[in-house]
Amino acid sequence: MSVTFVDLFKIIISAAFIENILLARYIGLCPYIGMSTNISNSLGMGMAVAFVMVLSSIVTWSLWNYIFIPLKLEYLRIMVFILVIAVLVQLVEILLKKNLPNLYRAMGIYLPLITTNCAILAVTFFGVDYNYNLLQVVIYSISVALGFTVATVLLAGIREKLRYAKVPSFYRGYPMAFIVTALLAIAFIGFKGLIK
C-alpha cells in the first residue's frame, strides 16, 4: 500500500485536531488536569509525551507485526504493550540523564508520570488497530502528541489568567479547569467538518 502525502496530511489534521486525544476522545486527562498549571510545565510535559509516544508506538508496532501476529499471541497485547512502555520510559530516563542532561532537566520530572499516562497506551493500541504502516504510525503518534500539547498549553494559558478572576471559592482549581475544558471542547468540535 503506497501512502500519498494527502493521506499523511489527513492523519495529521484528524489526529491533532478533529479527534484530539484529550478533548474529543477523553484519553490522558490525569496529566492534562494535573500538569496544566503553567505554560512552561505543560510544554515540558508535551515534549516528554511526544518523545515517549513516538518511541513506544514504533516499538509496539514492530513487535505486533513481526512477532505477535506470526505467533498468534494477540491475547497478550495489553500486558506486553504496557510493559514495553514502562521499560522504555525507564530506559529513556537513564539515557537522557547520562547523555543529554539539559534535555533531562527540561522533561525529566515528567517521565515517571508517563508510564501511567493512558494516552501513550491508547496510541499504541490505535496504531495497530488502524492497520497503519510504519510511516503512518510515526506521523500519527507525532500528531497525537501535537494535539495533546496544544490542548494542555491552551488550558494552562487560560488557568494562568483565571488566577486573577473572581471565581466562587469552591469552584477554584479543578472544577474551573473542567468547565474551561468544556468550552475548549466545544471549540474543538468546530474542527469536525475539516475532513470529509
Angle between helices 39-63 and 77-99 (to 10 degrees): 130
19: nearest Cα among 151, 183, 188: 188
List the x/- string, 52-91, binding to another protein by CB under 8 A: -----------------------xxxxx--xx--x-----
Q: Does 189 help bind another protein (rule: CB under 8 A)? A: yes
Q: Is the dihedral of CA 110, 111, 116, 122 positive or negative?
A: positive
Q: Which is nearer to another protein, 96 or 120 (CB)?
A: 120
The residue assigned the cell 487560560 is 158
- Contacts (CB under 8 A) with another protein, residues 15-54: 23-30, 33-34
Show the cell assigned to 194. 475539516
Taking the least distance from each CB to another protein, the nearer of 3 and 67 is: 67
Contact flag: residue 185 with another protein (CB under 8 A): yes
User: Across 115-191, where does the E strand assignment appear?
Assistant: none
Contact residues toward another protein (CB under 8 A) are: 23-30, 33-34, 75-79, 82-83, 86, 115-118, 121-122, 125-126, 168, 170-171, 174-179, 181-183, 185-186, 189
